[in-house]
Structure 1
Amino acid sequence: MLSHNGCQKLREFTERSYKKTVMEVTSGVWFVLGYGHSNAIFIEGQTSVILIDTLDSRERGDCLKSWIQKTTGKPVRTLLYTHGHPDHRGGAGAFQEEVSEIIAFKPKNQELKRTEALQEIQTRRGARQFGYTLSDEEALSQGIGPREGINYGEHRSFVSPTIVYDQDCVTRAIDGIELELVRVPGEAEDQMLVWLPQKAVLCCGDNYFGCFPNLYAIRGGQYRDLASWIDSLDVILSYPAQILLPGHTAAVCGRERIRETVGNFRNALDFFLTKTLEGMNEGKSADQLAAEIQLPEELSQLPYLGEYYGCAEWAVREIYAAYLGWFDGNPTHLHPLAPQIRSQKMLELMGGKDRTEAAARMAFEKHEDQWCLELCDLCYEAEPDAAILRLKAAALDRLAEEETSANGRHYYKACAKELRKTAGLD
C-alpha cells in the first residue's frame, strides 16, 4: 500500500513487533521471537525436546540449539517443519546429529509440472522481493520478521524430513507430549498445525501472522487458494486454544483474544475473495477491482491487518487471474499490439519521444511518480535510453519511501539499483 509516510509506518511496525524474546508461554513450552526471520517453538518432553521450526540459517540454528540446551539440558530428538519454506528450516543442520525424526506433511496439491524451468526468474524476482541486494537501511525489515541471516553472510542448512505424512490429521504421543498434527493449506500447501492439548497451545505456522498476508507473492508462484486458506483458519478457530503461536510475529494469548484476532483475519480474507468474485461476475476488470476494493474501516484499522508484508491490491489481481485467467472480457485485448509497436504509436500521438520524456520529467517534478514510471516505460520500449532509466530509478526510489509493504519496498529499491547499473551509474 502506498502512503505518504509508508517508510515510517514500516519502520515503526518493525521496531515494535520483533523485539528479541525467548519466552516460556506455559509450563514446558518456549516461544522464540525476533532472533530469525521466522519464529521457533520448543517443547520439553520427559527426556528430550520437540522443536517446531529451526530459524532461517545454520548460524541462528546453532544459537537456538544453545538456548535449548541451557534452558532444558535435553537434546532435540524430534523436529517438526510447519512447512517447507526455507526461512523455517534453514537452521536444521544444527540439530542433525542429535535428532531422531523430522516430521513434515506432503503438499495437499502438488506444484505445476515443469515449475523448475522457472528457477532463474523466480530466484531473481525473489531476491528483489526479499531485498537481498539492499543494505539494512534500504530494506528496513522483511515485513513479517527481521532480515534473513543470508543477508549477513550466514548460510542455510537444510535437512530432509524422515517422515512425510500424506493424510490430513495425525495424532502422536512423543516423549510424554500429546500432539495433533493437521495439514491446513494456506500460505503453503504443506502447512502444518500443531495442537498441544495438554498445554492448550496451538502452533499455526504461517496461516496467521500479525499483518496482511502474502495472498500473492510478487516473486511469482502458483495461486494460494484463498478459499482453502479461509477453511484452514476455521480449523484454527475450532480449537480451544489459550495460546496461539504463529510462525512469524507475536504470540496471541487468551481464548477470546484468539477468537477475535484470528476471526477478523479470516473475515478480511473472506471479504477480498467475496468482493472480488462479485465484481468479476459483474464484468469488471482486474484494474477496476484493484482500485475499488478496500477493507471496511472496522478491519482496515486493526493493527494486525496492516499491509506490511502482503498487499490488498495484489490479492485482488491474483484472485482475478486464478478464477478467470488473463482475459478481462474486453475484445480489444484479445490480440493486443506488441509492446514496442504500441509504444511507438503512443509516442507519435503524444508528440514524439522528446515531448513524452519531458512529460515524464514534469510528472516527476510534481511527485506523480506512478505516471512518471508509465511514461518512462513508453519511452524505453520504443527506444532504449540510459537517461530514461535514470529517471525511472529515481521515481522507483521515491515510491519505495511510500510503500508500507516490505516486499513492495524491496522490489522498488532493488529494481532502481539494477536500472542505475544498466545506465552505467553504479
Structure 2
Amino acid sequence: MNSKNNKENISARRKKATYKTKMINKEIYINIDLNKLKIEEELAKKNVVVDVPLPVIKKEDSLIPVWDLRRYAFLLENKIPYTVNPKLWEQGKLNLNSGIFRITDRIYQIRGFDLANISLVRGNTGWIVIDCLTSKETAEAAIKLVNEHFGNIPISAVIFSHSHVDHYGGILGILNSNTTENIKIYAPRGFMDAVIEENVNAGVAMTRRGLYMYGELLPRDKKGQIDCGIGKYVSGGTVTLTNDVNEISPIGNEEYIEKVIDGVTMQFLLTEDTEAPSEMDMYIPSEKSLCIAENCSATLHNIYTLRGAEVRDPVAWASDIQKAINLWGDNLTSVFGVHTWPRFGNKYCIEYMEKQRDLYQYINDQTLRLINKGYTIDDVGRMVKFPETLSDEWYDSSFYGTVVHNSKAVYQKYIGWYNGNPVDLNKLFPEESAKKYVEYMGGEDSVLEKAKKSFEYGEYQWVAEVTKQVIYANPNNRDAKLLCADALEQLGYIAESGPWRNEYLMGAQELRFGIIPIKRSVITDEVLNAIPLENVLYLMSIRIDGLKAGDFDYKINFIIPDRDEVASTEVKRGIFRYLNNELAKDAVVTVTMSKETLYELATTNNKPDSSSIIVEGDICKWQLFLWTQDRVDPNFNIMTPVPKKE
C-alpha cells in the first residue's frame, strides 16, 4: 500500500467506492429487470391528483423542518453513483412521488409526507382516515393539502391499521385539523397494550437503535442516506397518542368483523402476530378495494426489525395474507397498503399478494429445514436463498427486510439465541475476549497491518470483524476505528436494503466522529398522557437497580392531581410494583406531584426540585427509592463497549 493510499485510509473523510464495490454495483445494475422496474414506476405515479414535488414541513415558529424531501433532489439525477446499490437508488426515486393519489372514486392516499401513508375513504358526512403518520405536524400538513384540494370536508372517523408509531403518532394532528367533535377512532384488538409494550417500555433503546436503522443522522447525498425501502425516513415532529380508541374484536367465530362507518360498510380481518402484534386488514366492498395494512408493502418486510422488537410469526403472516385472498380475492380490483403504492386489477392483485405471502412461508420453512440439519443462527442467514420464481419480482426485493436477518429471526423464534455449542453458553464479555484475541494475533499494530491488506482485497466484512476486536480491546485506537469505518462504508454502498445501508453508514459515522447526542423520543408527554398510570409507573420499575433495592420492603402511595389519579405501589425484593388505583393505608410514604414531575422522574435522569413533590410520611424511604433509580443513557454506545459497572 503506497503512502498516499495509506494516508487516505486513516483519514476520517468519507471515501469513494473502491474498485470491488464498483464492480459489484455494476453487476447489480446489469441484472436489473427494466420491465419490472417500469411497472413500479407507473404504479408509483398512477392516478396522481395533486403532485407535490419534494415537500417540506416545519413546526410552528421553527425554521427546522420535521420533514424535508428537498434533501433528496440528488436522486433525480440520471446517473447512478457507484456509492449506492442501483436497485436501492431506483427504489429511493420511487419513494419521492408525493401528493394526493386516487385509488378508487372514494379512496385517496397522501404519500410522501412521512415514512408511511395516510389513506382517506369518503364517507357520507366526511373522510374516514386510515393511519395518521408519525408526527402531529406531518399529519396536519397532509390534511391541509386534502382540504386545499377537496374543500373543508370534516373527518368522520379514524382507523389505526396497527400499533407502530409511524401509523398513530400524528393522531392529534388529525384531530386538531377537524372541526367536528366525537370522532370515533378504531384500532385492532390489543392495540394499546401493543403500543405500550413495544414503543414505550423499550422506547429508549428503540429510539437509539432506530437512529441506525433509519439513518436519521446521516447526510442525504450519494454517500449517505438514500431511502428506508418503504419510505424515505421517520419525520422528526411531535409523536402523539390518544386512549379514546375503540378496539375491533370478533364477537363470535366470524371470519371478519363488519362495521358501517359513516355510511361505508367495512370488513375487518384481524392479522395479529404478523407485521405487528396488533394489526388488521380492511376491505371496502363498495369499492372492491382492500387495505392490506403492512402485510404487503412492495418489498420483503421484517420478521425481525433491526431497531429491535419481538420476532414476528412468518407462518401467521403468510396465513393471514391467504385469508384475505380467500375472503375477498374473487371480487377485489385494488390493493393498497400503508406504505408505498397500490396495485390494480384482480389477477395482478392476487399474484402480488400470493408472492408476498410466499416470502414469509419460504423463509420460515427453509430455515426450519436447515435447523433440523444442525445449522446454527450464523449459518442460516447466508444459506437460505429465494428461487427465481420469488426473487424475480421488484416488489419482492430486499429493500427493507433481508433474507439474511429474517432467517436468523426464524431461528431465534424456534430455537432461541443458543446455538447448542457449550463454548458459546457463557462467553466472556466482548471487551475481555477482544483483548485476548488481539494479544493472540500479535497485538494491535499487527492486526491492523493485516486488515489493511484485506481491505485492499475487498474483504470488507472480515475487516470490520477483525477491527472490531481491536476497538473493543482498545476503544482509543483511532486507526482501528477509521479502518472499520471504511469497511462498513463499502458494505453500505452495496447494500440493497435501505436499513442495512443506514446501519453500516451510521456505524461508520460514529466511529469517525463519535456519538451525536439526540433528545428525540417516542415517549412524549402526549403519549404518556394517553397511557394508564400503571404503565407510567412501570417505567420506573424497569429503571430500579435491583441489587440496591434488594432488601427494601415498603409501600409508596402516589397522588397525581392533574391526572385525577392515585396509585399504591411497593418496593420489595428489588422490584417496584404497581398494586392498584387506591391509596394503601399501610404505605410508609405518600408523594403528591404533577404529571409533569412524574413524567420527568419516569423518563429522564433529572431529579425534580424537591419543592415540586409533597412528601408525607417517611421521607428517607422516598429518598432511598430515588437513589435506586438507575441512570439511563439515551445515547449509549453501539460501536464501542458500553462501560460496565464496577
Segments of structure 2 that go 5 or more residues without pairing to the other structure are 1-20, 26-83, 517-646
Pick closer, same or farther for the CA change 1:360–1:101 going to 2, 3 Å.
same
Pick closer, same or farther for the CA change 1:19–1:307 going to 2, 3 Å.
same
Residue from 139, 143, 162 that aligns with 1:65: 143
Q: Do 1:339 and 1:381's aligned partners in 2 also have CA atoms closer than 8 Å?
A: yes
Match of 1:382 in 2: 473
Match of 1:130 in 2: 214
Match of 2:86 in 1: 8
Q: Do 2:114 and 2:231's aligned partners in 1 also have CA atoms closer than 8 Å?
A: yes
Match of 2:443 in 1: 352
Q: Do 2:123 and 2:262's aligned partners in 1 also have CA atoms closer than 8 Å?
A: yes
Pick closer, same or farther for the CA change 1:178–1:129 going to 2, 3 Å.
same
Q: Provide the identity percentage.
A: 25
SS of equivalent to 1:205: coil
User: Higher relative CO (CA 8 A, sep ≥ 6), structure 1 or 2?
Assistant: 1
Residue by residue over 1:60-103, the C-alpha shift from the partner in whole angstroms, topping out at 9 and shown as x without a partner, is: 22232223333264200100010121212233223314361111
Q: Do 1:111 and 1:222's aligned partners in 2 also have CA atoms closer than 8 Å?
A: no
SS of equivalent to 1:25: strand
Q: Do 1:386 and 1:423's aligned partners in 2 also have CA atoms closer than 8 Å?
A: no
Match of 1:164 in 2: 247
Residue from 73, 83, 95 that aligns with 2:162: 83
Structural mapping, 1:139-218, within 5 Å = 139-150=225-236, 154-167=237-250, 169-185=256-272, 186-218=274-306
Deviation at 1:155, TM superposition (A): 3.1
Pick closer, same or farther for the CA change 1:8–1:348 going to 2, 3 Å.
same
Deviation at 1:31, TM superposition (A): 2.3
Deviation at 1:303, TM superposition (A): 0.4
SS of equivalent to 2:471: helix
CA root-mean-square deviation = 2.5
Match of 1:363 in 2: 454
Match of 2:394 in 1: 303
One-letter identity of the residue aligned with 1:350:
M
Pick closer, same or farther for the CA change 1:111–1:88 going to 2, 3 Å.
closer
Deviation at 1:266, TM superposition (A): 0.8
Supply the distance in 2 between the matched residues of 1:364 and 1:269 (Cα, whole angstroms): 35
Q: Could you state the TM-score of these two structures normalised by the residue count of structure 1? A: 0.91
Bigger mean CA deviation after superposition, 266-275 or 69-78: 69-78
Deviation at 1:113, TM superposition (A): 10
Residue by residue over 1:354-376, the C-alpha shift from the partner in whole angstroms, topping out at 9 and shown as x without a partner, is: 21111112222222111111111
Segments of structure 1 that go 5 or more residues without pairing to the other structure are none
Does residue 1:105 correspond to 2:188, yes or no? Answer: yes
Match of 1:22 in 2: 100
Bigger mean CA deviation after superposition, 39-48 or 317-326: 39-48
Q: Do 2:163 and 2:191's aligned partners in 1 also have CA atoms closer than 8 Å?
A: no
Supply the distance in 2 between the matched residues of 1:159 and 1:53 (Cα, whole angstroms): 13
SS of equivalent to 2:247: strand
Q: Do 2:257 and 2:268's aligned partners in 1 also have CA atoms closer than 8 Å?
A: yes
Q: Could you state the TM-score of these two structures normalised by the residue count of structure 2? A: 0.61
Does residue 1:407 correspond to 2:507, yes or no? Answer: no
Supply the distance in 2 between the matched residues of 1:110 and 1:364 (Cα, whole angstroms): 47
Pick closer, same or farther for the CA change 1:405–1:175 going to 2, 3 Å.
same
Pick closer, same or farther for the CA change 1:231–1:18 going to 2, 3 Å.
farther
SS of equivalent to 1:198: helix
Q: Do 1:109 and 1:189's aligned partners in 2 also have CA atoms closer than 8 Å?
A: no
One-letter identity of the residue aligned with 2:235:
G
SS of equivalent to 1:31: strand
Bigger mean CA deviation after superposition, 19-28 or 394-403: 19-28
Q: Do 2:163 and 2:195's aligned partners in 1 also have CA atoms closer than 8 Å?
A: no
Match of 1:275 in 2: 366
SS of equivalent to 2:413: helix
Supply the distance in 2 between the matched residues of 1:202 and 1:114 (Cα, whole angstroms): 28
Bigger mean CA deviation after superposition, 221-230 or 340-349: 340-349
Residue from 111, 133, 156 that aligns with 1:33: 111
Match of 1:221 in 2: 309
One-letter identity of the residue aligned with 2:168:
R
Deviation at 1:353, TM superposition (A): 2.4
Pick closer, same or farther for the CA change 1:274–1:110 going to 2, 3 Å.
farther
Structure label with greater radius of gyration: 2
Q: Do 1:32 and 1:40's aligned partners in 2 also have CA atoms closer than 8 Å?
A: yes
Supply the distance in 2 between the matched residues of 1:126 and 1:359 (Cα, whole angstroms): 33
Residue by residue over 1:230-256, the C-alpha shift from the partner in whole angstroms, topping out at 9 and shown as x without a partner, is: 111112212132110101111011111
Residue by residue over 1:206-233, the C-alpha shift from the partner in whole angstroms, topping out at 9 and shown as x without a partner, is: 1111011012111111111111111111
